[in-house]
Amino acid sequence: MKKLLLSILSIIMALSLLACGGKKEKKVANIFAPNTPNVYIGNNYQDAYREFIDAGFSNITTKQIKDIDAASEIADGTVESITVDGSSNYTQKTAFNKKSKVVIKYHTLVDYHVKLHINFPGNLLLNTYDVDVYIDDSLQETLKHGKSDDIEKELSMGEHEISFVKNDKEDDEANKINGKIKIDVKNDLEAEYQIKCESNDIKVSKKYVDYKVELKEGQVKVTKSAEDYDTSGKNYKKVISELRKMGFTNIKENILYDIIFGVTKEGELESVTIDGDDTFTRGDIFSSDAKVIVTYHMKEENDPSKKMEEKTAEEETTEDKEQQETLTVDNCPELADILSNKASNDPSYSSFASKYEGRTIEFAGRIDNCAPHGKYKTRFDYLVSAGDYDPDHQVGPAFKFEDVNYYDLNTDLDTVSVGTNVNIIAEVEYFDSNSELFYLKPISVTGR
């Protein structure tokens, strides 16, 4: 029995030794970086990636730094840094294993926020199919026929292709009915496109592309397209007010005396051109002093060139004199009335502005407020009113000089500051009942 136990123990020990002896220690093969990081910095990351693969590394990660914009001078894909196992201080003699973590950081194009309005008017009978919307061959969504929608996406700087494809799984790729348009992404933007389904293709038209950029001094971005004005049916005065608020300063009127009878109203807008462009779209940028022509309709009977009655030389002389004469409280009772009115908003203000638009007025006034115009440091908005300065009391409308510099005031004062009593000569522009401001164009502001 004792011998049997010893034999069993010997067998167990032998098996244990055999098992231990059978486990061989794995050898880790050393590999080396193909080059130091400085060799790759400033070059394309794909070259570095391939060389690390060829050197035997298998755990390689690439990380993008999205910071290349239109002003950048570095190329897309330029290496910023390379680390192996968290270190960038290795050499070609530093030993690693194939599982060592390699991180390659490189610069690439910045992403911008893009908002697309897809205007999709439907057909009543034929070609009433749905439409798939792709950006760079990536499906964004399927539009039900006749249903407009918005798509918002981050896109890298550069040109992208927007495709509109008939939603039909039975059509092969070569025969797909589609329409395409390019969009240049160079900043955050908002754009509108209109699509129309036809039997052989999808018509795509651009309505506008509005880039979200900071304007330079003296620039104006239009907030409506020319076709929006052409079909608006608005009164020309409201349109002129809108254009002035945008920042345009050189606005001219063109009257069509063509209303005999019909649905066209007096003063109804016909068109707007800016710097000779009658196809401008929302987002277009112009100089603030670009020539803007507002064309509108009036009654044919009011056409001065067709009036049969001729005025006598005396009447013409009198009329010319009245037109040229500067309006003051002494020769114009209406001016005297509004300057003594204690209301901040009164119908007489609008009436006076409409009747005497473009005429010159003169009155004793004061500087009530002065503030920078927008972000500009040398252009200002002034609030002035009639009478001597009193911060607690004001009579007449609040007049405004908008977007002017010191030299526009033609002043004899060293500074035109709040509290100064002045003599004001200015051209009548318009009264805005919403803001309760009466806009004037300064001719001179002198001390008194």
Q: Mean pLDDT of successive 10-residue segments in the chain (448 residues)?
A: 49 49 53 95 97 97 95 94 96 94 97 98 95 97 97 96 92 80 97 97 96 95 93 90 96 94 89 96 97 95 74 54 80 96 93 95 96 88 96 94 93 93 97 94 95
Where are the chain's structural domains? Answer: 31-108, 112-211, 219-304, 324-447
31-108 CATH fold = Trypsin Inhibitor V; Chain A (3.30.10)
pLDDT for residue 21: 47
pLDDT for residue 377: 85
Class of the CATH-defined domain 324-447: mainly beta
pLDDT for residue 320: 56
Report yes or no: 183 and 107 within 8 Å, Cβ to Cβ: no
Instruction: Find, among 341, 326, 351, 356, the residue nearest to 397 by Cα.
Output: 341
pLDDT for residue 6: 44
Which residues partner with 204 through β-bridges? 195
Instruction: Note the CATH number of domain 112-211.
Output: 2.60.40
Report yes or no: 422 and 445 within 8 Å, Cβ to Cβ: yes
Angle value at C-alpha 244, between 242 and 248, nearest 5 degrees? 125
Angle value at C-alpha 329, between 328 and 335, nearest 5 degrees? 90
Report yes or no: 365 and 401 within 8 Å, Cβ to Cβ: no
CA–CA distance, 329 with 361 (Å, rounded to integer): 9
CA–CA distance, 138 with 141 (Å, rounded to integer): 9
pLDDT for residue 321: 52
Model pTM score: 0.57
pLDDT for residue 322: 54
Tokens of 336: 């005297």
CATH architecture of 219-304: 2-Layer Sandwich (3.30)
pLDDT for residue 27: 45
Instruction: Judge if 31-108 and 219-304 fold alike in CATH terms.
Output: yes
Q: Which long-range contacts (CB under 8 A, 24 or more apart) does 335-342 make?
A: 335/361, 335/363, 338/396, 338/397, 339/363, 339/386, 339/387, 339/395, 339/396, 340/386, 340/395, 340/396, 341/395, 341/396, 341/397, 342/395
In sequence order, which residues have a C-beta less than 8 Å from that of residue 137 and are 6 or more positions away? Answer: 161, 163
